[in-house]
Amino acid sequence: MSRAVLRFVVHRIRRHPESEAVAAARCLHGECAWEAAPSLSVNDVDDQCMAHTGLNAQHTTFARTFSDVALVERVEGAA
């Protein structure tokens, strides 16, 4: 009879220290193709969305996205 030895390794995920999180948005009204310019500032993207709504009163719904580069690291000493 053979035995299997299972070994579990603990990892964590975090934003890569040399990257920045980027925010973006696009209008979800009908066929509107408007998109906010990607920015490191969520507030800048929000301002762009509000300005778009100011010019287009019915355009009030946006898909916002946030992206970054992630780094998975082994946690040393964790069991």
Contacts of residues 38-46 at CB distance under 8 Å and 24 or more positions apart, as own/partner, are: 42/66
Q: Which pLDDT belongs to residue 17?
A: 94
Domain contains 62: yes
Domain count along the chain:
1
pTM of the model: 0.75
Domain contains 4: no
Domain contains 2: no
User: Which tokens belong to 3?
Assistant: 């035995």
Domain contains 1: no
Write out pLDDT tens, residues 7-24. 889 999 999 999 999 999
Range(s) of the domain holding residue 45: 11-74
Sign of the dihedral defined by the CA atoms of residues 62, 68, 74, 78, in that order: negative
The residue ranges of the chain whose pLDDT is under 50 are none
What is the C-alpha separation between 70 and 77, in angstroms, rounded?
Answer: 22
